[in-house]
Structure 1
Amino acid sequence: MQFCEVENKGYPKNFREYTSIFQQALKQEIEELKKDVGGRGLKYYKGNLLFSSSKQFVYRFLNDSIPNIPDDTPIDTFIDNRHLNGQIVSTDIEGINISLEENMGDIIPEITIKTSRSKLPELLLDKFNKINSGEVAVNKESCMKLFSSEKSEKIDNSISSLNLHKYKYQPNSEQAKAILQSLTKEVTFIWGPPGTGKTWSLSIILDQLVNSNKKVLLTSHTNLAIDEILLKYTESLSDDEIIEDGKIIRYGTPTKKNPKFDKLILENIVQKKAEEKNKQIQLIEKKIKSLETDLTKYQNQNIIDILVELEIVKNNRLQTENEISKLQRSIHELNDANDRIEDTINKKSNI
């Protein structure tokens, strides 16, 4: 494996010239593709359900002859004379993966697909038109650095040294050099024929960036390449915490059937998070009901205690009033007795 930076040849001179060249090339490609009339249908047999979600159902069809159709190409599919919109997920030497908008069961006995091979180039050409008109914004400076029309600078990065001994796959000196440069330069190209460790090196780069709390966008012109890197990356993890936390998102449709990939699908992550939140909500609601019950009991108990205390006060007041009444009667009786005594004394004094 080798790595390199493309030198600036001074051509094209600016971003607009680059887009103009791309647009011209796309128009030529579209013109050639449209000469191949795609009216004929391609038949495949015995497709097995590979992956499913609420929005897409991916079937794998084994076949010796696979058409040269780019990933993500929209297609028309026909199953038992029924038309369904579909998409090419990926193709390989053994078969083809097709995404459908409806669940057609675990096995599809026969499917016919029709496609316009010019569809994706037309979409790309339209995107370039929108970029030139200003309708779509792009980072032109980064684009120019990608094509070496502007110098790629060294970036400030805390990843200045690497501990590569923790990985199951031990990169050689050239691979380690490429990995380090990828983490310290704005743009790096890693090149090598099959079997030279590109995928493993990319998985290590991915791991280093994730461990440094960087946000990473991993893209490729094929879905299979994305899944190969993700598979090697997940295999290198010491634990699945980052996967379980939903921090790795596989946008789109996986080409492989792997339990770990199920945890990377955005829809599944959202569903898991929703289930966790629902459980938390249920626990909170249960706690609220418990507190409301306790509060009601407390309020009711307070009312009862107040009524009892009030009754006691009433009884005490009545008892006190009775005692006062008795005292008043006693005083009155004593006053009467005192009056009688005084009368008796006065009478005796007069004699």
Structure 2
Amino acid sequence: MTDIDATRKCPVLVTGGAGYIGSHAVLALKDAGWPVAVIDNLTTGFRFAVPDDVPLYEGDIEDAALLSRIFSEQGTRAIMHFAGSIVVPESVENPLKYYHNNTVKSRALIEACVKHGVQHFIFSSTAATYGIPEDSPVTEDTPRQPINPYGWSKLMTEQMLADTSFAHPLNYCALRYFNVAGADPQARSGQSTAGATHLIKVAVEAALGKRENVSVFGTDYDTPDGTGVRDYIHVSDLAAAHVLALAALIANPSASLTMNCGYGRGFSVLEVLDAVDRTTNHTITRIMAPRRAGDPDSLISDNSRIKRTLPWKPQHADLDEIITHALAWERKLSEIRKET
């Protein structure tokens, strides 16, 4: 199955659709002909990230009355849920914020789905649910042992979805992301958050003179060059996986899914920085810094389940291409900010 009949492309509400990954999911849905609307409170999202012809409801997913109105006006039958807080160190410093934004509000959204008969739910989960796994690559059956409130807040939502799907006619897919990077190849959207902590975002900012340097946190890991190894996935390939997962839920309403989203191979911090230097013909200043607590040596996905379950064929699984798209967006973002 590569697609579903157009008559079965139900209206989808994307929460956090003005944010980084959510906005790419909106583009992927729109490009594939799905009716789509967005709810975003715009605390970290950007109005410019939502296409002009996509309805944008500015508000909170905890607002039951607003959700009821959206579901009625849009005929919503499926949710893609990206809204939430994502900065791991902040979750340690302010755990209650994360349990509220990521868990309590997700509960309110799930409850609204049950009340209004929304039957399909795609959830933006994370490899942080695994904590520091003993083995890498990581499979979906690797023990979930989060080491921070961010990971716990996401795992709690996975559990709520599992329990709700058992008790009500709602099926779900939890997609556990590894390191998301890059931008829409047509430069329609990208990572726009000021002060973002994603390595490739930080590195391209440094390459364009928006940062003075890049910190390398830890050089004594058990990896070939001593720096942490991560599995980087292009955001557009990730968005495509969401659309295919939704089609799978509609095709089999009695089944739910949990799948890793990554390429199954990793790059070290120094390899990423070398690739940015190579792509930009500019040498980034690197500051060697101590390890951050909780960073594993290597975190790479076993992606065999998603490849077995969905007709997902990554189109941008090349590090230099990921960086090229991130750079193009960073340059465009500078122009957008000049205009606003």
Q: TM-score range by the shorter chain?
A: under 0.3
Q: TM-score, normalised by structure 1?
A: 0.22
**Structure of larger gyration radius:** 1
Higher RCO (C-alpha 8 Å, min separation 6): 2
Q: TM-score, normalised by structure 2?
A: 0.22
Higher share of residues assigned helix = 1
